[in-house]
Chains A and B, each alone.
Chain A
Amino acid sequence: MIELSRITKSFNSGKPNQFTAVDNVSLVINPAQITVFKGPSGSGKTSLLTMIGCMARPTSGRIFLRGVAAAVPFQQEGAESVEITSLPERFLNEIRRSTFGFIFQQFNLVKGISSLENVMLPAYPTGEGRALFRARALNLMEQFSISRLAGQQVELLSGGELQRVAIARALINNPAIIVADEPTAHLDSKLSQEFMEIAGRLKGEGKSVLIASHDPIVFDSPLVDSLIEMRDGAVDASRGRR
């Protein structure tokens, strides 16, 4: 479970061009569900996801991760939850690496290297043996039926293939939470549907999936458990399970 308490994120604070991307947001995200953040661009949903995903720290407020404490080596014994807002970058990062997998709007694959290497990339700095995560990457690529692309450079892949490589990469460190930012923005309807099917499958495996999107195929999907609408950095209305 992820709990956000009065989260605010402002940029350029103290300067005339100061603006607040996320304003005093409190909410609870349940595990093993698909949660969609819906809203126009600039509504703060991406900023919110970066803070939940330990990429950025809020200007004020607190975020608690419950039930993932086991993955955090430094946490004192017996603690159930981690408060991530006050942690230094290297610790945030360790949580991020072991707990979150990311899928981006542009897929953000590194050009010039093979898709297999792209999938393995998040595991490089973990200190795990290369053979181990290589096997895992090949296994993931097989699950998404892209094994034949393993040796190919990513420039040569189609949109659908790129998406699958990106998903496989998000899963390489076996995270409990998948964060996807506008994952269907560059996909046609068929591929967008396919993405939602994969999200459903991940939910079935017990993973939490957080998606920021303003694509009806995503937020109208029957697989979505909870929909959070955002506008101007604040939560507009929150619906529970439909």
Chain B
Amino acid sequence: MKNVQKAIERHLNILEFTLASLLRRKAKNLSLLAMYLLVVFMLASLQFFVTALKREAAIILDDAPDMVVQRLMAGRQDLVPGSYASEIALIKGVTAVRPRLWGYYYDALNGANYTIMASDDPTAVAERASIGSGIARSRNLAVGDLLPLISYDKNPIMLEIGTIFPSGSDLIAADLIMITPEDFHKLFNFPSGQATDLAVTVHNPKELPTVAAKVASQLPDSRPILKSEIMRTYQSIFDWRGGMTLVILTTSLLSFIIFAWDKATGLSAEERKEIGILKSIGWETSDVLLLKLWEGTVISLTAFLLGVVLAYWHVFFLSAPLFAQALKGWSVIYPRFQLIPVVDAYQLTILFFLTVVPYTTATVIPCWRAATIDPDAAMRY
């Protein structure tokens, strides 16, 4: 017990001296800290951003049907005839097949693409639309206003704004316009009896792959896609993008490590003398190593915590202006969407491994070199 207490006292005493000496060498340590902070900040922003996007994607997909069936024509997506729906509905295990009508509309006025969707709601009123808050914002619309769209045969269609989706669901519905199937046909000159794709509901989720296989064999030009597959694709695309950016950022990580190595190796004459004095008055190599360890810990923790907090602010309050362009690549209508904050221990651990561990490794040998200055060096001046 006494030994434990002694060890704790030793740590506390040395830590106290560490803090004092860090403050004494402000200029040197601040430049190191700034560099460190920047690296943590970049990596943390990236990590938070990618994770948040993955989460958003998962939220979007939450409402998506378990299986979507498309039709391919010469390798391109084509319209699905109504007969497909009835044929799929006959497959065992399928509870419902719902033809979906949706498409994109380019608004020349603000250069944005809207997603237009036909509503399933039988009570939907003709020439009345529900729109996403993104559109409401960019076109300056309120409930009751009129939104003019130009149909494919160049006739204007005036839509009255019925509802505006709350901005909480921004990422899902920011650019969405919901209209009746009749208006949809009119707007796009869409052939009747056809659908963009089919949403298939299966009673038992475990049968999804079997049903998908049957659809593909019965309708050779169809392309069934499962929600789990979309989810997986999204995940790996985001991971891949994040990883790529990370690889690009490795150069900055590398230069940081070289910088840290350099800082740790290039002890100033003053510092060298100080360690010489400490050793001459009875500090042992392991005491100086401990001093250096604490020094590294204090710098790492400060940089890590500050960097993470700054990155949090950057991603979740400012919507990651530094990465958004590179990683999102979405349409112009999104500038104001805000990500839902997600931070967990897993992400922080990854960040820790990418920043603190390389720093610690880069400094271990220089620290040891500093700690093994001869104790009698102080006597040889």
Contacts and interface: CB of A to CB of B under 8 A. Distances in A.
User: CB–CB under 8 A between A and B in the complex?
Assistant: yes
Interface of A: 46-47, 49-50, 55-56, 89-90, 93-94, 96-97, 100, 102, 104-106, 108-113, 117, 121-130, 169-170, 173, 181
Interface string B277-304: 1101111111100100000000000000
A173 B282 CA distance: 10
A150 to B, nearest CB: 15
10 contacts: A50-B376, A55-B280, A90-B286, A100-B282, A110-B274, A121-B281, A124-B283, A125-B14, A125-B282, A127-B6
A49 B286 CA distance: 23
B280 A108 contact: yes
Interface in B323-381: 374-376, 378-381
Contacts of A93: 282-284, 375
B12 A130 contact: yes
B17 interface: yes
B282 A122 contact: yes
Contacts, number: 94
Given A55-B376, A130-B13, A102 B281 contact: yes
B378 A104 contact: yes
B284 A90 contact: yes
Contacts of A124: 10, 13-14, 16-17, 283, 287
Nearest to B275: A110
B290 to A, nearest CB: 8
Nearest to B23: A112
Contacts of A97: 282, 284
A162 to B, nearest CB: 13
B24 interface: yes
Interface string B1-27: 000011101101110110011001000
Contact of B20 (A102, A117, A123, A127): A117
A100 B283 CA distance: 12
A129 B12 CA distance: 9
A141 to B, nearest CB: 16
Contact of B381 (A105, A109, A110): A105
A96 B380 CA distance: 18
